[in-house]
Each structure stands twice: as structure tokens, then as C-alpha cells.
Amino acid sequence: MAGMTPDAGGGFGGAGQSNAAFKQQLNKIYAWYTGGFVLFVVVLAILEQMGMGREMIGYVFLGATVLLYAGIGVMSRTNDAAEYYVAGRRVPAVYNGMATGADWMSAASFIGMAGTLYLTGYGGLAFIMGWTGGYCLVALFLAPYLRKFGQFTIPDFLGARYDGNFPRFLGIIAAILCSFVYVVAQIYGVGLITTRLAGVPFEVGIFVGLAGILVCSFLGGMKAVTWTQVAQYIILIIAYLIPVIWLSVKQTGVPVPQLIYGSQLEKVTAREAELIKDPKELEVAPFSRHVPMLFLRS
């Protein structure tokens, strides 16, 4: 991480390329990657038809994707400070957006948001509005100035812009607070997922997840993280969209979920009202206790 030595991680843009050529190379690499992923899913589907067990498929999926991200992480290793902290500031906007999107769609959203919204209703929307609305604030107040500033961290920038250590200190507190809370939720999610998907005990799952994260990010810093996240985004967006679009087509024939969402919600609400009055439901009502925290550890 010393000084400005040329980066040793080939494969993801040497320092000598122009931005246009770099972007073209990226497009090619990720197009091949997407094709490879689709092929992988098809092969697994065929294997499943031939009788491969559910656990094996779980292991293969988990192992293959973790190995893939680890591979990208190792390929992006670097010694250059600018590459390590800010990916050399050469990431094209679309790819940066993909990386940010992958961050958004991680365990905290998939598990945490879904659960929070289900349990708390309108209040849970505060998280959704906060994450994307907060991104708005970053774009208006911090991002352009941080890039022009040239250093690497927000507390640095705040200290220089507002002259002094107190703004810097506030920045540090905010960064640590946000990161810590988020990381705890993420690690918990990682443990849960590994437990369910691979059947390992919760504690082992956490360490496996952490090991995976370390391999992806330790050697290459922000550069490795960005390219790994872009790869994850492609898989995530496909994984998120397919079930929702499938449901939408099955229920209403319209492939755009956002459009029919509202009317389906009305139907669900009406059905819920019916079910609550159903005599079978009233039979078991005295025996059901809504204990939200309990199911998290089951």
C-alpha cells in the first residue's frame, strides 16, 4: 500500500489504457461472465433433472460463487494507494452504479428489509427511504467534492473543507456508527444464509462468510471490492427479478411487477380480512402468540 507503485493486479485495466478502451474491455469481460453464469445455471438445472440432491446443489452454488468472487478479488490485487482506496478513480459510472446496487441488495435488504417491512409496516419504509434518500444527500453534498478533493476518506475531506479536527471527528463517528450497525446485520445475515444453504452450524457459517469476504477484499481493497460487486450485481439482479416477474406473469400476465403490485396488494388485504374471520382461524387464535424475535434464531 505504499506510494504510487504501479499496480500488480493485471486483468482489470493497467495504468496505461485510455478510459474508452478500458470500458470496452470491461464490457467484454462482463458479457462473457454473464454468459458463463447463465450456462452454469442451465447445467445445474440439467443436473437436477438427472437426480442431483438438493444439498449438493446448495453446496455447488455456494462454493462456485464464493470461489468466483475470491478469484476476482485475487486478480484485482494491488499495491497502489489510489487503486486500493478508490479503485484508481477509473471506474466507469455504470459499473460504479452496479457495484453500489449490489451493496444495496445484500443480506441486509434481502433478509432484514423483508422482515422489517413485514413486521412493522409503514415504519419499515424509513429504512428504504433512508438508504436511497441518503444516497441522494451523498450525491448532492459529498461525492463530487470528495472526488475533486483527491484524498481518500470523508473525514479527511471534512477536516480540510471545514478547517479543523472537530468536523473530522464528527465524520469519523458517523462513519463508524453506520458501518458498525450495518456490518453486524450483514454478518448475522451471512451466518443465517450459510446455515440454511449449506447446513453448517451458525458459528461456522459466520467464519466461512467472513473468510470469503476477506479473500475478496483484503488483497485489492476498493478495486477488488468494486469488481467483485459488479459480478455480484449481475447475479443478484437476475436472482431478484426472476421470481418477482414470474409471480407477476403467473398471477396477472403482466411482466412488470411494479404496475400490478398495487392491485395484487388490494386482493391480499381483502383475502386477509376474510381469513381473520374464518372459523378455523378463530379456533387456533388463543394458541398463537406473536413473538417476533424468537423466529430469528430458529
User: Which residues lie near another protein (CB under 8 A)?
Assistant: 18-20, 122, 125-126, 128-129, 132-133, 135-137, 139-141, 144, 258, 261-266
- Minimum CB–partner distance for residue 215 and another protein (Å): 32
Residue 33: exposure state from Cβ atoms within 10 A (0-12, 13-18, ≥19): middle
- Minimum CB–partner distance for residue 104 and another protein (Å): 11
- Minimum CB–partner distance for residue 292 and another protein (Å): 21
- Secondary structure percentages of the chain, helix, strand, coil, to 5: 80, 0, 20
Which grid coordinates are listed for 62?
455456494
DSSP symbol at 112: I
Q: Indicate the residue among 86 and 206 with the shorter CB distance to another protein.
A: 86
> In whole angstroms, what is the distance from residue 56 CA to residue 234 CA?
23
Q: Indicate the residue among 4 and 125 with the shorter CB distance to another protein.
A: 125
Q: Indicate the residue among 18 and 288 with the shorter CB distance to another protein.
A: 18
Q: Indicate the residue among 196 and 271 with the shorter CB distance to another protein.
A: 271
- Minimum CB–partner distance for residue 7 and another protein (Å): 17
Through-space distance between the first and last CA atoms of the chain, rounded to whole angstroms: 43
Q: Indicate the residue among 258 and 288 with the shorter CB distance to another protein.
A: 258
Q: Indicate the residue among 15 and 242 with the shorter CB distance to another protein.
A: 15
DSSP symbol at 265: H
253 phi-psi bin (left φ>0, alpha ψ -120 to 50, beta other): left
Q: Are 81 and 5 in contact (CB under 8 A)?
A: no
Q: Are 271 and 263 in contact (CB under 8 A)?
A: no
Residue whose grid cell is 445455471: 41
Q: Indicate the residue among 144 and 243 with the shorter CB distance to another protein.
A: 144
Give the SS3 label for residue 113.
helix
- Minimum CB–partner distance for residue 136 and another protein (Å): 5
- Minimum CB–partner distance for residue 250 and another protein (Å): 18
- Minimum CB–partner distance for residue 93 and another protein (Å): 8
CB neighbours of residue 107 within 10 Å: 18
Q: Indicate the residue among 113 and 215 with the shorter CB distance to another protein.
A: 113
> In whole angstroms, what is the distance from residue 124 CA to residue 130 CA?
10
Task: Of 210, 243, 254, give the one whose Cα is nearest residue 70.
Answer: 210
Residue whose grid cell is 461456522: 204
- Minimum CB–partner distance for residue 296 and another protein (Å): 23
